Structure 1
Amino acid sequence: MNKARINQMANKYMTHDMISLHTELPEFPEGRISLLHTVLNFQPGVASQRDLLSVVTSLVQMGLDVHDTVDNSPNAGRNGLVGMRAQQLKVLAGDYFSSRFYHLLSQAGQIETIRHLSEAVCNINRIKMNLYGKMKQMKLNAEEYLHYGAEIKSGLFLSFTSFMSGLYERLWPELVERFSRCEVLLHELQKVEKMSSLDGSWGMWHILQEGTEDDRRLLSERREDQHLIKSLLNKYDVAEKLDGLLRQSTGQLQSLLQRLQSDKLLRELQPLIEPFLQATGQQRATALKELG
């Protein structure tokens, strides 16, 4: 099944007029859902349930992701009635997706899967609280930021380890964690391309960790200064360092896939790795162009 088909199946359960009209949803987690669906197809015990399991996991993930877009800052209430309703609808949308997940699995008698995914949600929320606490106290470094990001993205999918058998059971946790890390790094590269803000980015934590005292002070005081952002990104080679980290993680992911000892599975998963390979190639070309 291709990514578009999975997205189409999930949309059947996510579509709601009120949500569609008033709420912009986060990006659908196509990569991780496709990874799960493809690997489940190679597990005889659950292959027949792969469509259901992939759809409900996407619903839970979208519920978590849309809740993350709720603005809890002190300024959140200053956008008037329209802004307040938009925030409320995000909360309701996340709850709605979660209710669809429970309904589908309960109908199918998949009570144990409900337990696994619910426990995963609790663990993800715990990880998020730890991350937000460290960020608030400014006690986070760039590598920890990546680690937390990969943990959060992989949390739901790790709950399927018990559904795997043999070699797959041993390799699945590392596979989904490495894939999630690549997704985080790709997203961080895309942030650098926009150069709109360093807030909540790997680049910010890297500069706060490696930068001079003056640069750290400037970053804290003028986070929205476009000229400063571009200057600091170039000075500390943020794009090049992210590119190197993504190339490293993608190489590790490819090596891990080889250990699955299935040429057929490798061929089916290769399209999921292409965005990572293409991003590093584009980044290198951009860097060379700027040097020229």
Structure 2
Amino acid sequence: MTRYRIPEKTRLYARHDMIDKHTELPPLAEPRARMLYAFLSQQRSVKEQSELYTLVVTLVQLGMDTHDLIDTETTKRSEADMRSRQLKVLAGDFFSARFYQLLANAGQIEMITKISNAVCEVNRLKVNLYMRMRSLRMTTEEYFKQAVQLRSQLFEHFSGMLEGATARVWPELLEGVSRCEVALEELERSESMDKFEKSWAYWHVLQVGTEEDRHRLASQTLEIGDLPALLQKYDIRALLSAKLRQSAEALKSAAAKLDSEELTLDLSAIADGMVNKLSGAMPALNETR
């Protein structure tokens, strides 16, 4: 049996003294990576490359997520903030370089092209999303749907490497995992003043809130001390928690249709692991295959 090593190997290739010292990185796309590895490991044609493919996609996703953390405000910053911002730019590029290096060394030139094209599509979707945001007319459902699509896009093309019924159900399962991840991330964002703007909670209040609350958001006059009361007023945590649980149950139901009991169990564990994070519990996932 091969031990699942993607998180350790990703951190190994992403590690750099300057990055570790001066900036923080986003979390790994662990649920999507774990699902991808589980599926590729059962395909005879790509089984030997399952770890490599999952590793490079995880590195590419980490690079894009790191670039997304870059603050675009033009206000004066401290030296430490400037250094952190510069390191995020360089870190994202560094992770992308690792992806090219690993695939080139393995002679996987065609895969470089496929993933690069997927990255271009992700960036196109991001531009469209940002343009919609600027209009301040986005609904929560539109926002959530596009956030899920952004998370799924890089992993979607792997359906072409899967066989039979597994290939047909891959998009549905990928969307299910991505919906769970988005719900978890939006819970975190809703409780941070730095991340609240343009989050799901932000669009929800802008959509259903009182005229006064909508004005505070649109005019950017919301104070940090106002956030807890606003979240409680609109029941933000309960709504997102319910969305996470519903998405996890839908994912488990879709996984139950698979012919592979092993894949069904893996996906159920991934879903339960994300739900368990609502209470801070650690997921109990099977580490061997």
TM-score scaled to structure 2, two decimals?
A: 0.89
In the alignment, the residues of structure 2 paired with residue 276 and residue 195 of structure 1 have an alpha-carbon distance, to the nearest angstrom, of 23
Map 1:226-265; keep pairs closer than 5 Å: 226-265=224-263
Deviations 1:144-197 (A, max 9, x none): 111111111111111211111111111111211111111010122233455776
In the alignment, the residues of structure 2 paired with residue 151 and residue 15 of structure 1 have an alpha-carbon distance, to the nearest angstrom, of 28
SS at match of 2:28: coil
CA contact (8 A) 1:207 1:236 kept: yes
Map 1:49-64; keep pairs closer than 5 Å: 49-64=49-64
Aligned in 2, Cα 1:45/1:240: closer, same or farther, shift over 3 Å? same
In the alignment, the residues of structure 1 paired with residue 89 and residue 268 of structure 2 have an alpha-carbon distance, to the nearest angstrom, of 36
Map 1:72-221; keep pairs closer than 5 Å: 72-75=72-75, 78-193=76-191, 198-221=196-219
**Structure 1, gaps ≥5 residues long:** 284-292
CA contact (8 A) 1:247 1:277 kept: yes
In the alignment, the residues of structure 2 paired with residue 61 and residue 196 of structure 1 have an alpha-carbon distance, to the nearest angstrom, of 22
Supply the AA of the counterpart residue of 2:58: S
Residue 115 of structure 1 and its aligned partner are, at CA, apart by 1.3
In the alignment, the residues of structure 2 paired with residue 222 and residue 99 of structure 1 have an alpha-carbon distance, to the nearest angstrom, of 38
In the alignment, the residues of structure 2 paired with residue 106 and residue 204 of structure 1 have an alpha-carbon distance, to the nearest angstrom, of 43
Which is richer in helix? 1
Task: Give the structure 2 partner of residue 15 of structure 1.
Answer: 15
SS at match of 1:182: helix
Residue 264 of structure 1 and its aligned partner are, at CA, apart by 1.7
**Structure 2, gaps ≥5 residues long:** 281-289
Greater relative CO, 1 or 2 (CA 8 Å, sep 6+):
2
C-alpha root-mean-square deviation of aligned residues, in Å?
2.1
CA contact (8 A) 2:252 2:267 kept: no
Deviations 1:202-231 (A, max 9, x none): 111011111122221133346542443222
Supply the AA of the counterpart residue of 2:49: Q
Residue 235 of structure 1 and its aligned partner are, at CA, apart by 2.1
Aligned in 2, Cα 1:227/1:81: closer, same or farther, shift over 3 Å? closer
Aligned in 2, Cα 1:84/1:141: closer, same or farther, shift over 3 Å? same
Task: Give the structure 1 partner of residue 284 of structure 2.
Answer: none
CA contact (8 A) 1:145 1:202 kept: yes
Task: Give the structure 2 partner of residue 286 of structure 1.
Answer: none
- Percent identity of the aligned residues? 41
CA contact (8 A) 2:248 2:272 kept: no
Supply the AA of the counterpart residue of 1:207: V
Supply the AA of the counterpart residue of 1:83: D
Aligned in 2, Cα 1:259/1:137: closer, same or farther, shift over 3 Å? same
CA contact (8 A) 2:35 2:266 kept: no
CA contact (8 A) 1:181 1:249 kept: yes
SS at match of 1:94: helix
How many residue pairs align between the two structures? 279
Task: Give the structure 2 partner of residue 290 of structure 1.
Answer: none
In the alignment, the residues of structure 2 paired with residue 247 and residue 278 of structure 1 have an alpha-carbon distance, to the nearest angstrom, of 10
In the alignment, the residues of structure 2 paired with residue 240 and residue 182 of structure 1 have an alpha-carbon distance, to the nearest angstrom, of 15
Task: Give the structure 1 partner of residue 285 of structure 2.
Answer: none
Task: Give the structure 2 partner of residue 34 of structure 1.
Answer: 34
SS at match of 2:196: coil
TM-score scaled to structure 1, two decimals?
A: 0.88
Residue 27 of structure 1 and its aligned partner are, at CA, apart by 1.0
